[in-house]
């Protein structure tokens, strides 16, 4: 769920079989955790060279050319952010490999080929500084939108360097606010004051590598003189500070993430921090018209009244601080619906909902102490995302797409009740040849698990169709219908079938769907995914010889778990930026922050259930596994590349053949330029066609 106080993460998942070494024995592949170690990088380069053999496949070059053409296409939507009188956009193409940050006006943007004003050329900046900079966004001082703090990453990691920028002079501000590389954040209190959470030196980070201290920093003073306003514990996930500028007042909030899903929230009132009396697992979504709006993960009883899991409540913030606990239920989802995200304009609070994994968009207004609700006249039966809102007017942007309908960008002028389609992607493939169905599989415990499947209308249900099943199943993240030019023009066009599973652990049906598969119940996610895979076979859509699975981050753990548990069910596994060693995950980079999802492997009672699915600990030399494709990045500073490295090395040592590719930059996204993205995607698709080919794909022309 979206919230102004949400920190940054989204990740990971898990498996069972025979442990090659016990939890107390030494891990023979620990040396691969040394990210830039000479020995480990020699191993990486050797693995990459071996995987380069995929480039010799006759179809590789045409797949690469198609991928790159899509990524560099001038027909892509230039997604803008409304900031005062300008619309800002970050753009990459074949001329701007690392990208340009640019702006235009709304009048100009409405044109077919708008003229853009370049603000910052990242390619030129990288050459000037001798760094491979990756643009990570800007934090603006409203409402003038002249000054901002620009975040730049070396190689695409989460850690960023921050520098103040002037949008009038189009230069970094000499002697302006500047922070060295760290996983942190800033927020403007006023033009001369920042709330800062960063690495302030020894002892200022949590065990997850995030800030432990929040300070107020005055312009023109050294950061060492900044005033401490809150210090958390080393065991916390992280501490962040946010200033929320609103017409009625300036709210200053401190967010202490105790775990990934629990937090204490404080408001700075007259120089003193006041803890907000809401459940630790509630999410403070917004403060709008002095209404504090938050959502519940579990049932909450207060003053004799119970508010149910998944609901969103509101209350006057001033009255709440004075002790009032008479909440208004703003949104009450049913068992088939959930809240995806929220945002607001000047006068409207926006709620993006899922109803049976289909989007609905609602607009709320608050007048005379009560709420009015209106469903926006947005397209049905697809995925809606609130892209950008203007909090100083009632304009906002949202996108709509589905598996077969290309993405469109809409402008809503709420004052006039006008919705205008500003831009649309072209159709990168002929959608008229395909259909989408929502099917259901029955999991091991009897729960019905929905999934989407996309295939040709004239498909033969003969069990021979190469099929790719995608999943995630964690952190309350929902898998929604999404238009993918690559899936359509590369996979579907060559006779492939594409499926997306809505398994427990995700957020498709609210917090309960997520909570059902946390910690000791993690195996339910894997049972659900296996059930969907089995249902694809039962439907005679495919067979194990032609069935592949794909997942990244938490989804990488998912596919790692299920292929070790059911190697007989799959013939291809794409495991990207994955978590795999669940014995040590909490000791690697941001891993400690995810113990709220998986449990703590250092506690014997929790390791007892984690070890049952940990992919790295459940490999067997005696089992026959599909040839797995592992993909990661040296510069991933969120999920350690050691997970994928060690899993691949261990499988090789056991005699199992694998593909392994590690991009030497790219962060958790595993790529920073369109060429890198196209190359990685092309390796994956080439691998999938090799593993899952059948008479169907053989009959297709390899030239795409």
Positions marked active-site: 553, 668
Q: Cα-flanking dihedrals φ and ψ of residue 247, to 5°?
A: -55, -35
Residue that has been written with the tokens 């389609």 in this structure: 421
Write the secondary structure of 301-369 as one string of H (helix), E (strand) and C (coil): EECCEEECCCCEEEEEHHHHHCCCCCCEEEECCCCCEEEEEEEECCCCEEEEEEECCCEEEEEEEEECC
CA distance 677 to 671: 5
Task: Put the strands of the sheet holding 263-269 in their side by side order.
Answer: 238-245, 250-257, 263-269, 272-275
Structure tokens at 600: 């703590």
Are 357 and 450 in contact by the 8 Å Cβ rule? The answer is: yes
Question: Of 696, 695, 659, which is closest to residue 680 (Cα–Cα)?
Answer: 659
Helix, strand, or coil (residue 20): coil
Cα-trace Rg, the chain: 25
Are 196 and 179 in contact by the 8 Å Cβ rule? The answer is: yes
Question: Of 529, 431, 522, which is closest to residue 479 (Cα–Cα)?
Answer: 529
Buried-exposed string 488-512: b where 16+ CB fall within 10 A, e elsewhere: bbbbbbbbbbbbbbbbbbbbbbbbb
Q: How far are the Cα atoms of 19, 520, 607, 615, 617 from residue 24, in angstroms, in the given order? A: 12, 21, 12, 17, 12
Question: Of 277, 273, 227, which is closest to residue 251 (Cα–Cα)?
Answer: 273
CA distance 408 to 425: 6
Q: How far are the Cα atoms of 10, 355, 486, 500, 590 from residue 183, in angstroms, in the given order? A: 15, 35, 32, 32, 10
Are 424 and 406 in contact by the 8 Å Cβ rule? The answer is: yes
């Amino acid at each position: 769920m979206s919230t102004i106080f949400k920190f940054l993460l989204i990740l990971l998942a898990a498996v069972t079989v025979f442990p090659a070494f016990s939890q107390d024995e030494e891990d023979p592949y620990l040396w691969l955790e040394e990210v830039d170690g000479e020995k480990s990088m020699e191993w990486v380069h050797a693995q990459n060279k071996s995987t380069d053999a995929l480039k010799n496949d006759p179809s590789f070059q045409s797949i690469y050319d198609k991928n790159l053409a899509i990524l560099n296409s001038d027909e892509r939507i230039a997604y803008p952010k409304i900031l005062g009188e300008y619309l800002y956009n970050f753009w990459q193409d074949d001329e701007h490999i690392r990208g340009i940050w640019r702006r235009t006006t709304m009048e100009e943007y409405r044109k077919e080929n708008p003229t853009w004003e370049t603000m910052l050329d990242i390619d030129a900046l990288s050459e000037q500084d001798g760094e491979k900079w990756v643009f990570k966004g800007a934090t603006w001082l409203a409402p003038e939108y002249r000054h901002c703090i620009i975040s730049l990453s070396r190689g695409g990691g989460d850690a960023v360097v921050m520098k103040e920028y002037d949008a009038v002079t189009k230069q970094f501000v000499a002697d302006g606010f500047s922070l060295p590389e760290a996983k942190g954040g800033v927020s403007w209190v006023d033009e001369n004051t920042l709330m800062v959470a960063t690495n302030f030196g020894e002892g200022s980070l949590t065990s997850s590598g995030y800030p432990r201290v929040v300070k107020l920093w005055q312009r023109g003073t050294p950061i060492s003189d900044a005033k401490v306003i809150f210090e958390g514990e080393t065991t916390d996930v992280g501490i962040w500070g946010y200033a929320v500028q609103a017409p009625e007042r300036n709210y200053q909030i401190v967010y202490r993430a105790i775990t990934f899903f629990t937090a204490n929230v404080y408001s700075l009132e007259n120089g003193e921090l006041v803890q907000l009396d809401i459940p630790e697992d509630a999410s403070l979504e917004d403060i709008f018209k002095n209404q504090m709006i938050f959502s519940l993960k579990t049932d909450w009883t207060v003053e004799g009244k119970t508010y149910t899991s998944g609901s969103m409540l509101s209350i006057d913030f001033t009255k709440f601080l004075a002790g009032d606990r008479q909440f208004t239920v703003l949104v009450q989802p049913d068992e088939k619906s959930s809240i995806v995200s929220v945002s607001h304009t000047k006068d409207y609070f926006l709620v993006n909902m899922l109803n049976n994994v289909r989007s609905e968009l609602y607009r709320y207004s608050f007048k005379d102490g009560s709420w009015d609700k209106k469903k926006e006249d947005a397209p049905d039966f697809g995925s809606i995302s609130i892209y950008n809102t203007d909090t100083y007017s009632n304009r906002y942007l949202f996108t709509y797409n589905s598996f077969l309908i290309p993405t469109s960008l809409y402008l809503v002028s709420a004052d006039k009740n006008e919705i205008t389609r500003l831009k649309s992607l072209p159709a990168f493939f002929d959608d008229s040849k395909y259909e989408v169905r929502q099917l259901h599989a029955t999991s091991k415990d009897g729960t019905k698990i929905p999934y989407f499947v996309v295939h040709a209308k004239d498909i033969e249900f003969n069990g021979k169709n190469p099929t790719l099943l995608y999943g995630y199943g964690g952190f309350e993240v929902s898998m929604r219908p999404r238009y993918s030019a690559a899936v359509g023009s590369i996979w579907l066009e060559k006779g492939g079938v594409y499926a997306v599973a809505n398994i427990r652990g995700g957020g498709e049906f609210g917090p309960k769907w997520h909570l059902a598969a946390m910690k000791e119940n993690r195996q339910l996610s894997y049972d659900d995914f296996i059930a969907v895979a089995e249902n694809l076979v039962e439907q005679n859509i495919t067979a194990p010889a032609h069935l592949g699975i794909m997942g990244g981050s938490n989804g990488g753990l998912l596919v790692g778990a299920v292929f070790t548990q059911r190697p007989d069910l799959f013939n291809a596994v794409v495991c990207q930026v994955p978590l795999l060693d669940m014995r040590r995950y909490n000791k690697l980079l941001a891993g400690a922050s995810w113990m709220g999802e998986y449990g703590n492997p250092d506690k014997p009672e929790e390791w007892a259930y984690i070890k049952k699915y940990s992919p790295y600990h459940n490999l067997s030399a005696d089992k026959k596994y599909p040839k797995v494709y592992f993909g990661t990045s040296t510069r991933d500073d969120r999920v350690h590349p050691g997970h994928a490295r060690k899993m691949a090395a261990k499988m090789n040592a056991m005699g199992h053949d694998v593909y392994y590719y590690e991009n030497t930059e790219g962060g958790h996204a595993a790529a920073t330029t369109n060429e890198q993205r196209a190359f990685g995607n092309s390796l994956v698709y080439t691998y999938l066609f090799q593993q899952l080919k059948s008479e169907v794909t053989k009959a297709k022309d390899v030239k795409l």
